[in-house]
Each structure stands twice: as structure tokens, then as C-alpha cells.
Amino acid sequence: MHHFPRRNPPTNAPYVPSDVEARNYYYGLLSKPRFIARSSPDVWIKPSGPEAYLQPKQLTPLGAHLLNEVWEKTVGPAMDRYLQGKGVQSTSMNPLRIGIVGQSSPPAVIFIGVNPGTLSHELGIEVAVHCRSILVRNGIDDVHVEIRESKFTRAALMYKPAISANPATVVRESFSTSLGLPICNEKTSNFEGTGGFFFIDPAKPGILYLLTTRHVLFHPDNDQNELYDFYDGTGAPRRNVMMLGEAAFKARLRDIEAAIRVNQIIIDQLNMRLVLVKKVGDEDDATAQRKAVKYKIDKAIEAIEAFERLLSEVIRDWQKDENRVIGHVVLSPPIGLDDGDDGFTDDWAVVEMHPDKIAGLNFIGNAIDLSYVQVNDLVTWMCPHPANPSSLQYQGDPLLQCFGTVSDQEMFRPDPKNKDHDNDSAIMVLKNGNTSKLTIGRLNTICAFVREYINGVAGEMSKEVSVLPRDSTSGPFSAPGDSGSVVIDTVGRICGIITGGDGAADDFDCTFITSINFLVKRLAVFGIEANIFPLPTDLYSCPQHLPPPRSASSSVARL
């Protein structure tokens, strides 16, 4: 194939890729990022012939590697200093493996993202080669550097209504107290994210709190990036938190209406089937068919009746905006690096839940609803390797309860007994988000460095835990609108909450989460000794047991 500007790329040095290579080098990755440069002299060859096709690539965790010993404190910061000194708008640096789907032990690379349109191929080669030299100087000679166009996105989104393939489940879940609650600021109801997890503070018994990301509730275009600390009686304006913005709520109504229509179509089809059964010659066969068809008709009628009741209740209890106010923000530090040595970004907010919406009677603890995924699929996704079939704590109960945390050390050095489908050590994780719902992924075994640019101005570099897609066919682990979602492992241990992702478009090739251990530590700095595994008995059973309600709504509709 022809490569611009060289007809035959050299085999001993990196080269400027052709436009075809730049567009297709990362074929298979979800966001289809544009390739800029690599430090290796590998030559990309365009497939040719009558059955030519591109082989899809996928990202996989780095796994055990010497780079783990020098990346976070030495190599990563050195690369970042170099990139910033060269004026490169790097958005992320993520050590991982990139290879053809099904390839055993794909090559390890530092996967560097740069803002689209900011780095030429020629300068990209220079940058990639220099970053590779930093690796070699630190004793890492089996890792190369690849650069592609990508942007870091904090995963809150202007809501785009869509009809779900399973409307009943989506609607029910949206109004339940399981994890994955779609939330927004009452004043910016078209900018949505996801509630993370609930907790209580023993110093304030009976009150339930919700942790999510700050950028979901404080729009960067409208709000100053400063400490928000709310106390009753101070006269300060209260920042209410709403479940479902207006567009999202209307979409849920359309989901229910669609479910009613689908079941009515099913009934019409089944009635036509009954007419055909009359022509069956064998009476025993005809009787059996009539019985089976009538059973299905009865089930569809039951479904319609249930959906019609649900539609009536949702309109009655939740249609007014004020009825969907479920809490208010009480604490949120400005987004930025904390003052300690952790390196994670402060991007979190604490919401005090209003007891007229959630209390001891309807609270189930921190649990993710797994009911709309087939058990066989769930087990296959979460336990992809026969060596660890018992790791998923699923015993028929559709609610997977959270009960512990994963240490930072284990996230980056998983138990070698836990294998993914590639037979590599990995922690399989799941989340239930506002946009992409229930998804499965796998933690990378080394931290990523992320930098956000606002109007072309570089922010501070932060450390993040990264989650990669489950496999090449699973789709992204998260999407815009999933910010704040809690991420847990197969036994219900909390890993952290989603803060964003990176990719060339709205599809994320990687998802970034902030460690739960960091979050608990930061809450303690602000005087909150968070118990992140509250029980229904920790809450007041009903609003009458509480002081005057904090919600402006007089409705007693419950989640």
C-alpha cells in the first residue's frame, strides 16, 4: 500500500502514516480514533485481494509488568512534563495492551490521547520516540508508545430520549431505590448523570446521603468552581436534586406507552393465530395450540393492565417537577487535585435525600438491579473464565448487594486466580448507569493519567482507575450521562464512581473512575465518617419520625 509521503515505509524507524492508515489503524475500537504516531517501526499493511478485510483491534489490561513499579511516581510524571513542555495537548496516558482480537499477549503500549487537530504526524513521531526513551531510561524496553486523537469527557450529558428495547424494566428501574438513579440539578434538568451510592453518617442518625460527581450537579458553564457547603438556616440558596429531567421523564412515559402498544400488537397477532387453529384437522393438536395461544393472550392482557396502572401512577405521582425533587446538595469541594498524595481529582458531591422520597420503608441498601439481564448472559459476562465460576454472588436474587470495597493495591494487582476470557488476571466489574444501563467491563491493572482542557487551557493532571470494555463485542463500559455511577466487582465490592471517559467521539474506549478509598478518605477530611453500607433499619421508617421535611414539595410520592 502507498503511505504518504513514502511509497515504501522503512522497516527500522517510525514513519508518517497515510490517511488510510490514520483512519483505519485502530479499526475495532469503539470511538474509531484517528492514529497520529507510534514509536515502533512496525509497518501497517492495507489488506488487499478479493476477500480483504480489516482485523479488529481491542484494548486489554496491561497485567503484571515491571512498568507497575515505576509508572506512577517516575515514568508517568516525566512523560507529562515532557508533553507539557512541548505544548502537546495530551488528554490521557494509559498503559495497556492493544492487539488483534483473539491475539495472545498483545503488545504493551502507553496509549496517549491528544486533543483532535492539535498534533501533526511529524511532531507526533518525535514525541512518541522521546516518550519511548523515557521508558528505556527507566529499564522498560518492551513497551512502545502510540498516540491517537482523543478527548477526555466528564460523563454528564444533555439527555437524548430513546425508546428502550425493554420499556417495562427501564421505567420501573428509573423510579426505584436501587443504584443507577438518573439525577440532575433542578435548574439544569437537561444535564443528567447518575447517583452513585448511598451512605449514612453516624453523627447525623436517620439521614440518608447520596454520593455522585460534582460536575453532574454543578454545570461548568453556569457555576463557579468553589466549595459548596450548605447548612439550614444560613439563608444560602439550596441546590435541589431532581430525579429525571423533563425530557427524560417524558421518555419514560413513552416507554410505558410503547410497552402497551407492543402487547396489544401481540394480542392481535395471537387472535389471528386462533382463527388459523380452527383449520387444524387433529382435534388434540388444535386443543393444545388453543391452550398455548390463550395462555399467551392472558399474559399480554395482564401486562397491558399492569402498564396502564403504572402509567397512571407515574403521571399522578411524578409528572410535576417539584415531585421529582429527591434531595439537595449539602457539600461539594471544587473540582481539582486534593492536597494529599493520592493524585485523584476531587469531583464529588454529597446529596441529602429527602425522607418523603426515600426512607426505611422503601430503602433496600446499596444494591444493583440485575433483573433485566438473562442469568446465563450475566454469568458468562461476569465469569468469562472457567477458573473462577463462583466469583459472581448471584443466587437468584435480582438485587446484587454491595458489601465491601476493593483496595487500590488489589485493583492494580488482582488475584491471579481471577481470570478474564483472555486467561489474564483481571477484576471484572459492573455498573448500572443512566445512559448505558447495566454493563460489564474489566479494570486495567495500572493507573491512567488524565488531563482536562477547558477552552484550550490545560487543567491539572490527575490519576484515575481505568475500566476497559469487557471484550471486542460488548460495546463501551459507559457513555455520557453515566457520570457518578458506582462501579462494583462480581461479589459486590465497591471500586469507585465514574468521572468520565475518553475517545474520539461520544463512544468511550476507556472509562475513568475515582477510587472508593480516596472518596471515603476525602469525606473524612470534611468530618463525615461515612458508613457506605447503610441498612433500612438505619433510617427513619417514615417521614413523620423526622423534623419538618426539607423538600418544598407537599407530595408524599415515594421512589
pLDDT tens digits, residue range 17-30? 999 999 999 999 98
Closest among 500, 419, 492 to 465, alpha carbons compared: 500
Is residue 390 within 8 Å of 428, Cβ to Cβ? no
**455 shares a domain with 359:** yes
Q: Which residues are paired to 431 by β-bridges?
A: 439
Q: Which residues contact 261 (CB under 8 A, 6 or more apart)?
A: none
Mean pLDDT of the chain: 84
Whether the pLDDT of residue 300 is over 60: the answer is yes
The larger pLDDT score, comparing residue 267 to residue 178, is at 267
Torsion of CA 406, 409, 415, 416, to 10 degrees: 150
Any domain includes 361? yes
Any domain includes 296? yes
**478 shares a domain with 369:** yes
Give the helix ranges, DSSP H, for 383-485. 408-412
CB burial readout 509-527, b (16+ within 10 A) else e: bbbbbbbbbbbbebbeeee
What's the distance, CA 539 to chain centroid? 29
**179 shares a domain with 118:** no
Whether the pLDDT of residue 234 is over 80: the answer is no
How much is the pLDDT for 279?
81
Any domain includes 444? yes
Whether the pLDDT of residue 248 is over 60: the answer is yes
Q: Which residues contact 469 (CB under 8 A, 6 or more apart)?
A: 30, 58, 59, 441, 475, 476, 477, 509
DSSP sequence for 349-388: EEEEEPTTTS-TTT---SEEE-TTS-HHHHHHHH--STT-
**212 shares a domain with 186:** yes
Q: Which residue is listed with cell 383449520?
A: 279
Any domain includes 556? no
Any domain includes 388? yes
Q: Which residues are paired to 151 by β-bridges?
A: 503
- The 3 state secondary structure assigned to 190-210 is CEEEECCEEEECCCCCECCEE
Whether the pLDDT of residue 554 is over 80: the answer is no
Could you give the 3-state DSSP secondary structure of residue 1? Answer: coil
Residue ending a domain, among 282, 303, 322, is 322
Is residue 183 within 8 Å of 194, Cβ to Cβ? yes
Q: Return contacts of 516-521, CB within 8 angstroms, 24+ apart.
A: 516/405, 516/406, 517/405, 517/407, 517/408, 518/338, 518/342, 518/344, 519/211, 519/348, 520/405, 521/340, 521/342
**205 shares a domain with 257:** no
Residue ending a domain, among 129, 149, 169, is 149
**114 shares a domain with 215:** no
Number of structural domains, the chain?
3
**330 shares a domain with 312:** no
How much is the pLDDT for 370?
81
Question: CATH no. for residue 212?
Answer: 2.40.10.120
- Mean pLDDT of the 415-440 span: 81
Query: In whole angstroms, what is the distance from residue 45 CA to residue 9 CA?
Result: 10
| Cis-peptide into 386, omega within 30 deg | no
Whether the pLDDT of residue 54 is over 50: the answer is yes
Pairing of strands 453-454, 428-433: unpaired
Query: In whole angstroms, what is the distance from residue 333 CA to residue 314 CA?
Result: 35
**303 shares a domain with 381:** no
pLDDT category at 395 given cuts 50, 70, 90 is low
CA atoms within 13 A on the CB side of 397: 9
Any domain includes 3? no
- Domain of 307? 246-322
pLDDT category at 329 given cuts 50, 70, 90 is very high
How much is the pLDDT for 558?
33
- Mean pLDDT of the 95-103 span: 92
Query: In whole angstroms, what is the distance from residue 535 CA to residue 501 CA?
Result: 32
pLDDT tens digits, residue range 332-350? 999 987 666 788 989 999 9
How much is the pLDDT for 550?
35
Any domain includes 255? yes
**394 shares a domain with 338:** yes
Query: What nine digits make up the cell of 433?
Result: 448507569
Is residue 3 within 8 Å of 17, Cβ to Cβ? yes
Whether the pLDDT of residue 16 is over 80: the answer is yes
Angle at alpha carbon of residue 492, lines to 409 and 483, rounded to 5°: 80
Whether the pLDDT of residue 354 is over 60: the answer is yes
**112 shares a domain with 100:** yes
pLDDT category at 140 given cuts 50, 70, 90 is very high
Query: In whole angstroms, what is the distance from residue 212 CA to residue 181 CA?
Result: 10
Give the helix ranges, DSSP H, for 1-75. 19-24, 67-70
Residue ending a domain, among 118, 149, 180, is 149
How much is the pLDDT for 496?
96
pLDDT tens digits, residue range 521-551? 999 999 999 999 998 888 865 544 444 433 3
**489 shares a domain with 361:** yes
Any domain includes 106? yes
Whether the pLDDT of residue 8 is over 50: the answer is yes
Whether the pLDDT of residue 6 is over 50: the answer is no
pLDDT category at 2 given cuts 50, 70, 90 is very low
Closest among 533, 485, 184 to 329, alpha carbons compared: 184
H or E element that contains 304: helix 283-318
Angle at alpha carbon of residue 100, lines to 98 and 103, rounded to 5°: 95
Whether the pLDDT of residue 301 is over 80: the answer is yes
Instruction: Round to the nearest angstrom and report the end-to-end CA distance of the chain.
Output: 60
**380 shares a domain with 276:** no
Give the helix ranges, DSSP H, for 114-245. 121-137, 167-174, 214-217
